[in-house]
Structures are given as C-alpha cells and as structure tokens.
Chains A and B, each alone.
Chain A
C-alpha cells in the first residue's frame, strides 16, 4: 500500500516535469469529456423537465382518426365515453396551430375551459369575452406587446381579427406556454370556422389509475375510429425519444473520441529521449518492469481522472449555468418560438458512470501497448545511446 503511494508520488512529480505535454493532453481529453458529458446531462435534464410537466397531463386523450390521419372528433362521442363506468369527466378541447407570416413562427391557439393545469402561472387574467386573449411570454417577446395592447391575427378567410391582451403567462411555465395564445372557446371556433359539433380531441379523466388501460381498450371497442393515448404512453415516448436523440449525438461524438484516442496513442508512443533515459536509469538502479508498469498505470489514472473531473465540471457549467448554448438547437425540438428555460441541475450517478465507462476505457486501452513498450526498455540499450 505504502509502496503504491510512493510510486504515485513519483508519477505525479514526473508528470509535473513534463507539464506542457501532459497539459495539452489533459486539455483535449477534458474537451472530449465535456462534449459527451454535455449531451448526457442535457438530455437527462430535458427528460426530467418533460416528465415533470407531463404529470399534470390528462390521463387519457381521445383523438379521431380518419383515413389514417388525425381528424376533428364529434362532441357526441363524449356522451358515449361518459357512460363507461370509471370515467370521471370528459372534456372536449379546441386547439390548433397558427402560422404567423410576420414573425415566421407557429403559435398554438387554445380555447379556454379546455386548457387544464398550469393556468395559475398567469399575470393578469384569462379572456372572458370573445375579443380578449392571453399569451405566452414567447409570443409577447416576438410581437412586443404588453397587457392592454392588441394582438392581430388573420383567420382562415384572411380577415384580420383584433384581440386585446388580458394576460401573459409567467416564465416559469415556459416549456408549456411559450408559444400559446389562449382565446375563448367560441371565439376560437369562429376563428378556425369549426362547427360546434366538433372538437380537436377529448380529454378523459379517470378515477382509478389502474383502469386507464382497460378504459382505453373499451373506448377503442365502442368507438373504433378513435385513437386513445394514455399519459403513460406519452411518457414512454418522451423517454425513448430523448434516449434516442442523446444516443444519436453520442454516436456522432464518438468520432471525436476516436480522434482523441489516436492523439493519446500518438502521445504515448512518441516518448522523448529524455523520458527513455529516465526509465533506463530507473531500471538500472533496480526498478522492475512491474514497477514501471505501475507508474504508467498511475499516470493514465491521474490524467484520466483529472480530465474527467474537469470535463464534468465544464459540462455542468455549460448546461446548467449557460443553458447549453451549443446543444439546445439540436436536442430540444423543431418549433421556431423557442422557450428559454433554466434547466434544473440534475445529475445522477448513472450518467457519470456511463460517461466514465465511455471515455476512460478507450483511453486506458489505447495507452497499454505504448506504456508496455516503455516499460520493457533495455537500460543498457538506452543509456548507451
């Protein structure tokens, strides 16, 4: 034990003697780890954010499918579903997308009395007549109006409709409300020219969570042209999606890892004459091959761990302090009005372990052979010339 500590001490001092070479290696290694780590941390944080906001999502959403595509659902379907035992409530929802050519972005238009959950995060109030609206902070930033100003939208007949803004959603609900415009239900029906017998989808609340799957099956049986979507399914899909995206990014970043390994191999192979002489002298004064190998092992470990800790710190700062400027456009979504949100710092042991396995193993593996070559150096051969 004490012997290994002495060897470690020797390793550290010999690393310090070749400061520049090792520091450049550590810098590149740190950068590689920070890149991979950022991907892992960001997707993990986004996953948490998404699952956190989905906890208020409805148990079951019923869509109608016509010709294999999502279609408007007749509100009378709600009556059929309401009669099934176990159903707490059925609410038709009216919502849709609106492309604004001025700011070149998609807005989400939602009719009130159909939007549930987070509405308490509002400054001002919700619209209570057909001429009013409430908007998300992204919309407010894009157009620049405040409470009391007007918002002008073009309906499907290209006629302009003016809404006065009565409320703006606060930034905390950003991920959910950023591109939102809330109107009264009747006003939105007029805007979309949607018949009162139709809705975009139906929201079903269920008393007992265990019955959600059975109810979904029953609804599908009674109304064969519908597609019930459970919250569980949405959560799985998000999970799979984020895993897939981060895996995709990692697969791309593995190229960088390979490039780094080549660098490490090169650095480890091309030892200087000075270093060779050092090892020659060590062996001449009685060091064994196993001791030199131990030095090389500690060297690899010190470099790996230093870079690993620095890399994780850099990734953490990149993601949670600066909000991941380098990665966000690739990972978050495709919408143009992008929420700016502060991610909750959440790193679990599993992420760190995965990252360590992904980066340290290749580094150690590609420095084994060069370090063995150094370790078996013949002292006589080296010192002679």
Chain B
C-alpha cells in the first residue's frame, strides 16, 4: 500500500518537514537558553541571525503542512477505488480509523502553524522582539505534533488493507447510525439551520463592530464567535449544506464536494471557512500582547487587514453554502 505515488510523496514530504522542524527546534532551544536582548556579545549577534534561519525554516515547513493537508485529502479521495464499498474519502478513512486522527492532527497543525507564522511576523517587525521566548517555546511544542502527524500517517497507510470491505459515506453519514457524525446528519434541518444562521449572523455583526470600534471586549467576543462558528459550520456542512450542494436529501458527506464532479466547490468553501475562523481569532489572541508597546503599534497597523480578510472569508463561505439554498432548484424545507 505504501508504494502508491501519492502516499510516497506524502510520507516523504512529512519526513522532510519533520526533519526541518527538528533542526529548527534544536536551534530554538539554544536560543531559549542563551537569549539575552541586553547583551551585545558575538554569541547574541549569532543567535539573532539564527532567528532568521528559524523563521525561514518554519515558513517553509508550515507552508508544506498546508499542501500536505490538501494532498492527504486528495490521496484519500484517490485511493477509495481500492476498497470495496468505499465511494469517497470517508470510505478510505474508515478503512483504517487512524485516518480520522491524521485528519484531526492536520487540522490542529494548520491552525497552530498559521498562528505561529503570523505572530512571528509581528515579532520580527519590532525592534526588541518581545515574543522570542514564548515563540520558541511554542515551536518546541509544535514539533512533536509534526512528528505525531508523520507517525500517524505511516500507521494509517501501512495499515490499509485494500481487500477489506469498508462502509461508504452512505452509511457513516446516514441518519440511523450512532456516531457523532450521524448525530449531526440526523439533526432536524430547521433547528440546525436556525443555529447556523444565528451564530453566523452574530459573528458577522461582531466582526463589523470590530472594524468600526476599537473596544477590547469586542475582540474577545469575536474570538469566541469564531471558534463557535467553526464548529457549527462544520456541523452545518454535514447536516444540510452538503445536501444542497449534492441536491440529494440523504447525502451528508463533507468530502465528496472536493471531487471534480462537484467542480471542486469544497475547496473555496473550506478555505473561506478557515480564513474566517483564523483571522477572526487573531485580534482576540493578540489582545494580551498589547502590553508590549512595540507590538501594540504593529498590531494596530495590521488588525484592520485581518478583519477585512475575515470578512472576505466569511462572505465566500456564505456565498457558496447559501447560493444553492437561495437559487438552486433543490428544496429541503417543506412548503
């Protein structure tokens, strides 16, 4: 199973990323131990130069991580033909349940990576780099996660048995099962729509309020709203958005929309959701960092941009998920 081209390149890519991260965290630990902003010794100068190496390494490694997440879903889609009964990525992931863990770890890594890159960029713009220690501590914490990702991928792909009969998405995301996924699919459409639009509406209102006003409490609220929106939206995709996209009242799969038959509509949908969540969370996360004067200036200069990105993201997500609802011929709610 390992010799599938997609799997080979995933494992190679993850291995390289992990090695790069290991090297970076080794440098990071040295910086953590020896960093002294006041000193003007040669060692400190060398360390300051090393921070550039680390941030470049990390930018690459975390960029690879984004592509590897996409490639993983792509590969899971591609290998479904090898399993009897599997019809999309869900089937491939069910063939060895570790696959779901890989997906989860990749999701967490995606957010962690994005936060690290943004905070690092902020920090490097200042003169005194106040975030050096927390940054490299976070780096040392993220590295094992990348290792875990590599290990789980290996476990998943080496454990795949092409002959095993797996359940296709029709049975996992159908209304009768007992798993969380089928709980979501079985949720009454009206209630879940109400919840989805309620959360999304409040997210939008808070977002616009944040763009207008500079109040700190609003940023915290936006953070909470973003997290809520992310989970509710994932639930909504399984519960009813997918139904509108496939125009079928029983097809709840969140992966099929990534396939060519649905014009890859899933990619802009998930990218929109991801950026809305990420940029919605950033102002809240940066709130405690405002105590550093140098950072506060930097945060003020980019915050508006983040909020606009979040707005664009959420609008793309809304347009794609609700476009079919408003203009499509498929009607889910009774007259």
Q: A residues bordering B, Cβ < 8 Å?
A: 39-40, 43, 232, 235-236, 239-240, 243-244, 246-248, 250-251, 254, 289-290, 293, 297, 348-351, 353-355, 357-358, 361-362, 364-365, 368-369, 371-372, 375-376
Closest residue of A by beta carbon distance from B6:
A354
In the bound complex, residues from chain B placing their C-beta under 8 Å from that of A290 are 52, 124
Taken together as a complex, chains A and B put the C-alpha atoms of A244 and B8 apart, in Å, by 11
In the bound complex, residues from chain A placing their C-beta under 8 Å from that of B20 are 365, 368
Stretch of B10-18, B99-107, B147-155, B222-230 with 4 or more beta carbons under 8 angstroms from chain A: B10-18
Instruction: Please tell me if the beta carbons of B124 and A248 are within 8 angstroms of each other in the complex.
Output: no
In the bound complex, residues from chain A placing their C-beta under 8 Å from that of B124 are 290
In the bound complex, residues from chain A placing their C-beta under 8 Å from that of B71 are 353-354, 357
Instruction: Please tell me if the beta carbons of B60 and A368 are within 8 angstroms of each other in the complex.
Output: yes
Closest residue of A by beta carbon distance from B23:
A369
In the bound complex, residues from chain B placing their C-beta under 8 Å from that of A251 are 3, 8
In the bound complex, residues from chain A placing their C-beta under 8 Å from that of B17 are 361
Main secondary structure of the interface of B (DSSP, over half): helix
Instruction: Please tell me if the beta carbons of A376 and B52 are within 8 angstroms of each other in the complex.
Output: yes
Instruction: Please tell me if the beta carbons of A243 and B52 are within 8 angstroms of each other in the complex.
Output: no
Instruction: Please tell me if the beta carbons of B52 and A250 are within 8 angstroms of each other in the complex.
Output: no
Taken together as a complex, chains A and B put the C-alpha atoms of A355 and B124 apart, in Å, by 34
Taken together as a complex, chains A and B put the C-alpha atoms of A357 and B57 apart, in Å, by 17
Interface centre among A250, A351, A357, A375, by most chain B C-beta atoms within 10 angstroms, is A357
A-B contact count (CB 8 A): 98
Other-chain residue from A293, A350, A357, A371 in contact with B78 (beta carbon distance below 8 A): A350
Q: Which of B65-109 contact A (CB under 8 A)?
A: 67-68, 70-71, 74-75, 77-78, 81-82, 84
Closest residue of A by beta carbon distance from B61:
A365
Instruction: Please tell me if the beta carbons of A365 and B60 are within 8 angstroms of each other in the complex.
Output: yes
How far, in Å, is A311 (CB) from chain B's closest CB?
15
Listed from nearest, the 10 A-B pairs whose CB atoms lie closest are: A247-B3, A358-B9, A372-B53, A376-B49, A243-B4, A357-B9, A361-B13, A365-B16, A354-B6, A354-B9
Instruction: Please tell me if the beta carbons of B57 and A368 are within 8 angstroms of each other in the complex.
Output: yes
Closest residue of B by beta carbon distance from A300:
B60
Other-chain residue from A43, A247, A289 in contact with B52 (beta carbon distance below 8 A): A289
Instruction: Please tell me if the beta carbons of A357 and B10 are within 8 angstroms of each other in the complex.
Output: yes
Taken together as a complex, chains A and B put the C-alpha atoms of A277 and B71 apart, in Å, by 41
In the bound complex, residues from chain B placing their C-beta under 8 Å from that of A297 are 56
Closest residue of B by beta carbon distance from A369:
B53
Instruction: Please tell me if the beta carbons of A358 and B13 are within 8 angstroms of each other in the complex.
Output: yes
In the bound complex, residues from chain B placing their C-beta under 8 Å from that of A361 are 12-13, 16-17, 64, 67
B2: Cβ under 8 A from any A Cβ: yes
Closest residue of A by beta carbon distance from B3:
A247
Other-chain residue from A239, A350, A364, A376 in contact with B74 (beta carbon distance below 8 A): A350
How far, in Å, is A46 (CB) from chain B's closest CB?
13
Taken together as a complex, chains A and B put the C-alpha atoms of A371 and B60 apart, in Å, by 13
Known: A239-B81, A354-B75. 6 other contacts (CB 8 A): A243-B4, A254-B8, A289-B52, A357-B67, A368-B57, A371-B56
Q: Which size class do B's interface residues fall under?
A: 35 or more
Instruction: Please tell me if the beta carbons of A362 and B78 are within 8 angstroms of each other in the complex.
Output: no
B162: Cβ under 8 A from any A Cβ: yes
Instruction: Please tell me if the beta carbons of A240 and B162 are within 8 angstroms of each other in the complex.
Output: yes
B134: Cβ under 8 A from any A Cβ: no
Instruction: Please tell me if the beta carbons of B78 and A250 are within 8 angstroms of each other in the complex.
Output: no
B5: Cβ under 8 A from any A Cβ: yes
Other-chain residue from B5, B16, B57, B162 in contact with A250 (beta carbon distance below 8 A): B5
Assess A254 versus B56: contact at CB under 8 Å? Given A236-B82, A236-B162. Answer: no
Assess A293 versus B5: contact at CB under 8 Å? Given A365-B60, A368-B60. Answer: no
Taken together as a complex, chains A and B put the C-alpha atoms of A239 and B86 apart, in Å, by 14
Assess A247 versus B8: contact at CB under 8 Å? Given A357-B67, A365-B16, A376-B52. Answer: yes
Taken together as a complex, chains A and B put the C-alpha atoms of A139 and B20 apart, in Å, by 56
Closest residue of A by beta carbon distance from B10:
A357
In the bound complex, residues from chain B placing their C-beta under 8 Å from that of A369 are 53
In the bound complex, residues from chain B placing their C-beta under 8 Å from that of A350 are 6, 74, 77-78
How far, in Å, is B131 (CB) from chain A's closest CB?
16
Assess A240 versus B82: contact at CB under 8 Å? Given A365-B20, A372-B52. Answer: yes
- B232-274 CB mask vs A (1 if < 8 Å, else 0) is 0000000000000000000000000000100000000000000
How far, in Å, is B284 (CB) from chain A's closest CB?
27
Closest residue of A by beta carbon distance from B14:
A361
Instruction: Please tell me if the beta carbons of B84 and A247 are within 8 angstroms of each other in the complex.
Output: no
Taken together as a complex, chains A and B put the C-alpha atoms of A363 and B40 apart, in Å, by 36
In the bound complex, residues from chain B placing their C-beta under 8 Å from that of A293 are 52, 56
Instruction: Please tell me if the beta carbons of A247 and B5 are within 8 angstroms of each other in the complex.
Output: yes
Closest residue of B by beta carbon distance from A356:
B67
Instruction: Please tell me if the beta carbons of B5 and A232 are within 8 angstroms of each other in the complex.
Output: no
In the bound complex, residues from chain B placing their C-beta under 8 Å from that of A236 are 81-82, 84, 162
Taken together as a complex, chains A and B put the C-alpha atoms of A357 and B71 apart, in Å, by 8
In the bound complex, residues from chain A placing their C-beta under 8 Å from that of B16 are 361-362, 365
Instruction: Please tell me if the beta carbons of B74 and A353 are within 8 angstroms of each other in the complex.
Output: yes
In the bound complex, residues from chain B placing their C-beta under 8 Å from that of A371 are 56
Instruction: Please tell me if the beta carbons of A243 and B49 are within 8 angstroms of each other in the complex.
Output: no
In the bound complex, residues from chain A placing their C-beta under 8 Å from that of B82 are 236, 239-240, 243
In the bound complex, residues from chain A placing their C-beta under 8 Å from that of B8 are 247, 250-251, 254, 358
Closest residue of B by beta carbon distance from A213:
B84
- B176-191 CB mask vs A (1 if < 8 Å, else 0) is 0000000000000000
